[in-house]
Amino acid sequence: MAELIFLYFGTKGAFPVYSFQMVSALAEKKCKTTCYISEYCENLQNWLSLQDKFPDFIKVITVKTYKNKIEYLINSLNVFNFIKIAKKIEKEEAENIYIPGISLWTPIIVLFVKNKKIITTIHDPAMHKGEKNLAIQFLYDCLIKKSDKIIVLSKKFIDEISENYGIDKKNIYHIPHANFNYYKKNTELQEKIYYKILFFGRIIAYKGLIVLLKAMEIVVARKPQIKLRIAGNGEITNEEKILIEKLKNNIEYLNKWIKDEEFSEYFQDIDASVLPYVEATQSGIIPLSYSFGKPVIATNVGALSEQIFPDTGIIVEPNDEKSLSEAILSIYYDEKHLLRMGKKSFETANEILSWEHSAELLLNILLNNKQGAIN
């Protein structure tokens, strides 16, 4: 029986969901997992329910971490707390610590842990425009260097991680970002045209919202029934505000933090997700969109093209509103094909990007059945 120590202290957003879905899939495969998570994790109740469902395989240990920046600074000064957690982890029978994503406390705690092998999933090899922070990058670098094995979500970044951190490629593995069916309230595929596209998630500089708004000017002039829904929290620039006001009859604008239970309502009645990013690694929005049976229009940056499969989306060049507008318009030229794209996206989410498949790949790494660059 495979055994594992799971370590993640993030509290909100996609990472706790990614973590929960991976551990759920591991439990289905009878992997015994001791999970160290924050007591402030927004999906904590789901973790506790998972423990109840799989009492022989899941043990949840909550840690009092922090709820805001001030608490992070104050609680992080207590080095003895980190040592206490590390000593508790050292007493676990499992040999491997699996870190599904880097949270602020994880690198510090891991520094005090001895005699365990560390497997870390790197979602972003480098921090994005608008979120770079030298202190956080330093913590990330420390954890990567201390890790025995690294998992990347896109093949494209295997060489980059190897070169930047001097890690042998045989210790770098690829597990694609699985679907986010956690958010889906029903399992049926909706086959209907809504004449609506979606920009979803954090609004931050590298995501290129301004490019999409400029593209929408062109789209609306040619096909005025098409609407854009913007759903996510973040800072809107003055230029973006002007365009949103100008296109107000074709824009649904919801600038707020989207709760887990709200995701479904934003994806059910759209035709496609649009990712006009100007830089990227990969994106969880793509498998999330697929899980709702919605194809994707994305830019050719980072490894986004690696996430687009035949008939699940369209790739365009970044910072090009004309090409982006043509791509948006093109999905409506043949509405039967758009529905087929939706069906193919749904199938991809439930087959190629299933959590069962991802868990199997992770278990192969743990059990040393395969070396390097697992596909």
Q: Which two three-digit tokens encode residue 246?
A: 């100008």
Phi, psi of 194 (to 5 degrees): -110, -10
- pLDDT score, position 189: 74
H, E, C per residue of 9-28: CCCCCHHHHHHHHHHHHHHH
| Sequence-ordered list of residues with C-beta below 8 angstroms from that of 60, at least 6 positions apart, any chain | 35, 37, 47, 48, 50, 51
- pLDDT score, position 370: 44
Distances (CA, A) of 51 to 1, 10, 90, 105, 360: 18, 19, 21, 23, 20
Tell which residue, 68, 10, 59, has the closest CA to residue 39: 10
Indicate the pTM of the whole model.
0.87
- Between β-strands 196-200 and 227-231, what pairing exists: parallel, antiparallel or unpaired? parallel
C-beta separation of 277 from 302 below 8 A: yes
Q: At 4, which amino acid appears?
A: L
Could you report the per-residue pLDDT of 33-76, keeping only the tens digit for each?
Answer: 999 999 999 999 999 999 999 999 999 999 999 888 888 888 88
Q: Strands (DSSP E) along the chain, which ranges?
A: 3-7, 32-38, 58-63, 96-99, 117-122, 149-152, 172-174, 196-200, 227-231, 251-254, 272-275, 296-299, 313-316
- pLDDT score, position 104: 84
Tell which residue, 15, 366, 367, has the closest CA to residue 182: 15
- pLDDT score, position 199: 98
**Per-residue confidence in pLDDT tens, the chain, 375 aa:** 789 999 999 898 888 999 999 999 999 999 999 999 999 999 999 999 999 999 999 999 999 998 888 888 888 888 999 999 999 999 999 999 999 988 889 999 999 999 999 999 998 876 656 666 677 788 888 889 899 999 999 998 999 899 988 999 999 999 999 998 888 766 667 789 999 999 999 999 899 999 999 999 999 999 999 999 999 999 999 999 999 999 999 999 999 999 888 989 999 999 999 999 999 888 999 999 999 999 999 999 999 999 999 999 999 999 999 999 999 999 999 999 999 999 999 999 999 999 999 999 999 998 874 444 444
C-beta separation of 92 from 5 below 8 A: yes
